[in-house]
Amino acid sequence: MDGRAETGNLGAYLSRIGAALDEFLLAEHGDAMTRHADWSMALDRPLPVEGVGGEAVIEELARTVIPNGTRLSEPGFWGWVTAGPGTIPAVASLAATVASPQRYTITAFNRLEELSLDWLADLCGLPGHMKGVYSSGGSVANLVALGAARQWALEQAGIDPAADGLGSTPVALPVALYASEEAHHTVQRAAGVLGLGRRSVRHIATDDRQRLDLTALAQALADDVAAGILPLAVIATAGTTNTGAIDPLRGAGELAREHGAWFHVDGAYGLPGILDQRLEPLYRGIELADSAIVDPHKWLGAPVGIAATFVRDRSILHRAFTQESSAYLEGAFAEPDDVRVSLDSMGVPYADFGVELSAPARGVVVWSILRELGRRGVRERIRRDNDFARHLASRVRLSNRLELVAEPVLSICCLRYRTEATDDLDALNAALLRRLVAETPYLPSSTVVKGRFAIRPCFINARTELEHVDAFCDAVIRIGDELALSIPAASLT
């Protein structure tokens, strides 16, 4: 092997890999752990001196690697807020890898980057003036949004934080961000990375349905203003990770405005929930957002690695994230009115709107989903998933051995088994979840809601059917009964 890349064999290789992936998706291969010894022995070798060649690599991929992948695509996988991608976006992603390895220059891919962002904003009910930029996930998307918030808020105080740094003020300017205690922890990390400090995030109490408590928010804002602290941003979550709660967007947005703070909406998971007309009123106030994020790699079924940040004015992003000019980029391209070949221009300069320079063309993937399904198809998916959570909740209500830990709003249903046989329902349910994951095809994750352990299926998996939801519910009751019967003979830990 001499290090040259092959051309002309993609079709043959992809048909072999496509067949292996189709087989993988049938989910008849069992869990990779059961064959751990085999695949780790086959793979754990020293760096080869001589390569085996493309054909052999494709064969190893098909035989040893793919069948031992993760179970995220199985219909019963409902852990965290993640699932396997849809088929069309997975293929679109591969197409971009080959035909547009970067998102820049005047190509169909650069155009689809912008078009799909506009479609996505429209799909999620964001105001028409909001413009976006893709990044790798909700963590970075929140960071980019809060970078814009930092830029805007400190510019009001005469500081350019991106250019001059936070230490450029003659006197220290303490700032605070406000998010509910149920907000995603990436908000804290973003505050840390942006130099605002994780401790500048105020964890505002939630009400009995895990939503941001507006009275507590108003009080925290007033206390900080009285103490000379600048309220930099109010962050509301549209679809919390734990329970799917939607914060009161209008109230939070109005309080942000009143205090001159930026209003950010983290809709990484739940923003597409606006498509379910039954829930649409809960999203009122989204039009007040200065920034919002949504992760197509969550509910829309894109392959992992795609989130979008939208802001009301992308020039703020430019000021917050510009790299300044560089010899290797500036001057390499023609003026916009002298574009003759695709490489004459960068196209939309996304590198200046976020933290990535090199980045894949992600827009084509989102475009493929929206072209394939249309608004109606996405809406049906969202409604179906929300219905799964509602159906499960109704079964829980009908059973004297199950209880709801949080009423579903979107597609998350937090429940647990209950019995008089033990006072320690947290331990019992933790043991139940371990058995469920080991013994059945159902893979929810867990959470703690107001101090109570819950089994937490999150239905965003487009391969799930109602029969899986019912079988999961039956399995929870069966395993719970078995555990309850074995108390106190067996340890629950």
Ligand X SMILES: Cc1ncc(COP(=O)(O)O)c(C=O)c1O
Select the span of 39-47, 138-146, 352-360, 370-378 touching ligand X (CB under 6 A): 138-146
User: Parallel, antiparallel, or unpaired: how do β-strands 307-311 and 402-406 relate?
Assistant: unpaired
**Of residues 316-375, which lie at the interface with ligand X (CB under 6 A)?**
none
For residue 34, the minimal CB distance to ligand X (Å) is: 28
Write the binding mask 179 to 208 for ligand X: x where contact by CB under 6 A, - elsewhere. -----x-x----------------------
Residue 96 has which token pair?
């971009």
Cβ distance to ligand X smaller for residue 311 or 425 = 311
Cβ distance to ligand X smaller for residue 150 or 264 = 264
Select the span of 133-141, 188-196, 309-317, 359-367 touching ligand X (CB under 6 A): 133-141
> From the list 182, 266, 352, 385, which residue makes contact with ligand X (rule: CB under 6 A)?
266
> From the list 175, 268, 294, 425, which residue makes contact with ligand X (rule: CB under 6 A)?
268
Q: Classify residue 140 by burial, with Cβ atoms within 10 Å: 0-12, 13-18, 19+.
A: buried
For residue 72, the minimal CB distance to ligand X (Å) is: 13
Are the C-beta atoms of 183 and 237 separated by less than 8 Å?
Answer: yes
Distance (Å, rounded) from C-alpha 192 to C-alpha 260? 22
Instruction: Specify the DSSP class assigned to residue 1.
Output: -
Query: Positive or negative CA dihedral for 246, 369, 298, 76?
Result: positive
Select the span of 48-56, 201-209, 245-253, 262-270 touching ligand X (CB under 6 A): 262-270
For residue 191, the minimal CB distance to ligand X (Å) is: 14
> From the list 137, 231, 354, 408, which residue makes contact with ligand X (rule: CB under 6 A)?
137
**Of residues 298-317, which lie at the interface with ligand X (CB under 6 A)?**
307
Write the binding mask 63 to 92 for ligand X: x where contact by CB under 6 A, - elsewhere. ------------------x-----------
Beta bridge partners of 415: 404, 455
For residue 167, the minimal CB distance to ligand X (Å) is: 29
The DSSP-derived string for 479-493 is HHHHHHHHTTTS---
Are the C-beta atoms of 292 and 281 separated by less than 8 Å?
Answer: no
* Coil, strand or helix at 116: helix
* Coil, strand or helix at 33: helix
Distance (Å, rounded) from C-alpha 353 to C-alpha 349? 8
The values of phi and psi at residue 400, to 5°, are -85, 0
Nearest CA to 174 out of 204, 151, 203, 195 is that of: 195
Write the binding mask 205 to 244 for ligand X: x where contact by CB under 6 A, - elsewhere. --------------------------------x---x---
Residues that bind ligand X (CB under 6 A): 81, 137-139, 142, 184, 186, 237, 241, 266, 268-269, 295, 307
